[in-house]
Structure 1
Amino acid sequence: MARLYDSRRRILVTGGAGFIGSHLIDRLLKRGDEILCVDNLFTGSKRNIDHLAKHPRFEFMRHDVTFPLYVEVDEIYNLACPASPVHYQYDPVQTIKTAVHGAINVLGLAKRLKCKVFQASTSEVYGDASVHPQPESYWGNVNPIGPRSCYDEGKRCAETLFFDYHRQHGLWVKVARIFNTFGPRMHPADGRVVSNFIVQALRGEPITIFGDGSQTRSFCYVDDLVSGMLRLMDTGPEVTGPVNIGNPREVTIRRLAELTTQMTGSGSDIIYRDLPQDDPRHRQPDITLAKRLVGWEPTVTLEAGLQQTIDYFKALLPKVSTNSP
């Protein structure tokens, strides 16, 4: 329910100090919204939102979404959850609490306020997919008791909660399944393949590939992803999702390593390590629904996005330790 005393939208972004959340907030502020950024800074960083500290329409609240939140807003984007294996496996119990209890708390808030709520789900709900590329109709192939399950099953349960609130309470929900995203503000030690490769290449360290490098991923630049999220959020109530938001261009991990060394001018060798348990062999979104229902498809090439990300890390690495939050 919109607040009667102000025509400007006040939007809550949980996980707003994270990589994706901070870019989303930049775009929301640019279009004139008022933002409440909520983050417990477990994986998010004040560095990502420092440039907004004095912005008159930006407010930061340090808060853990596993506890209820009592605020007044017009829309909610729920992005709070560790999203890289290094981080979500560090404390798997807290990860699943963040995904599930966080969803319950956000949905309860949206129910009270009668407002629209967005869930940042993930391609990991498809698990080690046996269908390729992955359409939203595919139910997935997920190990419910493996080391990645805290994240995979946590996000699957969150989707269930969103659609049960929609069916039972008539809540206006939007669910996006986000595929591998990269760009500036990635944490240098988050363990994701793009940041790993760039950091290793810039330091002249061996580039580490897990497995034989034939496994594939599809990488979406963060600006494209945010555009897709905004477009989905602005659709009518008949569009609930889930909708895949990602770049359908598929590349092997080996090719990504080669491209990274070329673009950084690095002389790094490539070394191989054992593939982690339950690591997906293929990941590629079918974005037919995104094109038809949301009017969205990515426009930034992998090479252009990598150049922006490399430039960011070149500027960042001399200033911070890779272990700093």
Structure 2
Amino acid sequence: MQQKETYLVTGGAGFIGSHLCDELLAQGHRVIVIDDLSTGSKANIAHHLDNPDFEFHHNTVTNYPLMESLVKRCDYIFHLASVVGVQSVIDSPVKTIETGARGMNILLNLAEQYDRTVLFTSTSEVYGKSSKLPFSEDDDLLFGGTHIGRWSYACSKALDEFHALAYHQERKLRIVVVRLFNTVGPRQSPNYGMVIPRFVKFALANRPIPVYGDGSHRRCFGYVKDVTWALRRLIKRPECYGRVFNIGSNEETSVLDLAHKIKAQLGSESEIVFVPYEQVYGPGFEETIDRAPDTRRVREAIGFDPQTTLAEMIDLVAKLQTAEHA
């Protein structure tokens, strides 16, 4: 019989965090969640609230005394708490930076003090404006100027990576860093600029689908269950500690082609309209052009081989949105 372990999931009421909680509980483990619900939702974890192996704290990772009490009681920590979405980053740059830096400092300090193992979810945004594709974990990072708030999230996550890896190198903390590439699936809200749930929402309502810019920028979308499968394995592999891993898919598409695909797949009558970035995010906004991961490292480490297609992801997101509005 598998030993019951306790996992602390920061941001566990969010899109990815709640799926991770589902799987950890299904495996017979205990799960503690801390989430300030700024972008997460209690509805994502409502089905666990009566489970004696599940514990929820509506609070922030910058609450040191609470975090200390939770870290003391866990075996492993998944650190997912973060500001979500480009619009949130632009609207709340102070929170973006402080949640990242202060939260990470508290978590690393406590993880070292109580000898816990950590997995930190970073982002493909750290590659910034680099045009070297596909992005590999050891590539240089290229950010825009500090006067452009759009880059505060990427810089904050990059600093968190430096911090995490420094704790591993200097203090032997067991920690894994993963860079997520456009994770998609049920429970992902369209309210924070996430492109697939947003396009699906408009397509289902037969409303115009807004494509920002000219839609030529290309993305790869990873299904949330494929991502959480990888997270659960990476945190348990000692040979992965102190390393950085890309997690995403290799099925690449332009945002404009994505809009056409969603419209056709859902049988929508929506018109596709082009909206200038400045109209959405204000003057001086800079977007990453193409973003595709090199996933050889994670494939070699844990056999990561995602099977969920983009078409299947669209169907799953559409089914949930339809059920929510039924």
After TM superposition, the score normalised by the length of structure 1 is: 0.93
Which of residues 271, 274, 278 in structure 2 aligns to 1:272? Answer: 274
- Report Cα offsets for 1:141-194 as digits up to 9, x if no partner: 111412222211110010011011111111000100000011100113121111
The yes-or-no answer on 1:43 pairing with 2:39 is: yes
For the Cα contact (< 8 Å) 1:188–1:199, is it kept in 2?
yes
Aligned-pair distance for 1:238? 4.9
Alignment: residue pair count: 313
1:132-147 mapped onto 2 (5 Å cutoff): 132-145=133-146, 146-147=148-149
Deviation at 1:202, TM superposition (A): 1.2
Q: Secondary structure at the match of 1:292?
A: helix
CA contact (8 A) 2:83 2:95 kept: no
The aligned amino acid for 1:113 is: Y
Determine helix, strand or coil for the equivalent of 2:277. Answer: coil
Runs of at least 4 residues of structure 1 off by over 4 A? Answer: none
Partners of 2:223 and 2:183 in 1: CA distance? 6
Q: In the alignment, is the contact (CA less than 8 A) between 1:172 and 1:237 conserved in 2?
A: no
Q: Which amino acid aligns with 2:183?
A: T
The answer to whether 1:258 aligns with 2:260 is yes
Specify every segment of 5 or more residues in structure 1 that has no aligned partner in the other structure, as ranges. 1-6, 319-325
Letter of the aligned partner of 2:209 in structure 1? I
1:237 deviates by 4.3
The amino acid of 2:131's aligned partner reads S
Paired with 1:225 and 1:23, the residues of 2 have a C-alpha distance of 10
Instruction: After superposing the two structures, state which structure 1 stretch, 250-259 or 273-282, moved more.
Output: 273-282
| CA distance in 1: counterparts of 2:220 and 2:190, whole angstroms | 20
Is residue 80 of structure 1 aligned with residue 57 of structure 2?
A: no
2:300 is the alignment partner of 1:289? no
Q: Which runs of 5+ in 2 are unaligned?
A: 279-284
1:21-65 deviation line (CA, Å, top 9, x unaligned) = 000010111111100000001101001001111112100011111
Confirm or deny: 8 A CA contact 1:29 1:57 kept in the other structure: yes
Counterpart in 2 of 1:322?
none
Task: Give the whole-Å Cα distance in 2 for the aligned partners of 1:312 and 1:133.
Answer: 32
Matched residues in 1 for 2:223 and 2:305: separation?
A: 11
Shift of 1:90: 2.1
Distance 1:144 1:11 in 2: 38
Conserved 8 A contact 1:239-1:293 = no
Q: Which moved more, 1:94-103 or 1:84-93?
A: 84-93
> Matched residue of 1:157: which SS?
helix
Distance, in Å, in 2 between the alignment partners of 1:278 and 1:155 is 18
Please tell me whether residue 310 in structure 1 is matched to residue 318 in structure 2. yes
**Equivalent residue runs for 1:133-282 within 5 Å:** 133-145=134-146, 146-275=148-277, 277-282=285-290
Residue equivalent to 2:94? 93
> In the TM superposition, what whole-angstrom CA distance separates every residue of 1:250-281 from its partner, at most 9, and x where no partner exists?
10111110111112211000000113522111
Q: Deviations over 1:210-267 (max 9, x none)?
A: 1111110000111111111112112114543210000011101111101111122110
TM-score normalised by length of structure 2:
0.93
CA–CA distance in structure 1, aligned partners of residues 312 and 227 of structure 2: 15
Q: Which moved more, 1:107-116 or 1:15-24?
A: 107-116
Q: Is the 8 A contact 1:73 1:113 kept in 2?
A: no
Closer, same or farther in 2 for the Cα pair 1:293/1:237, shift >3 Å? closer
Structure 2 residue 65 is the aligned partner of structure 1 residue 57: no
Shift of 1:83: 2.1
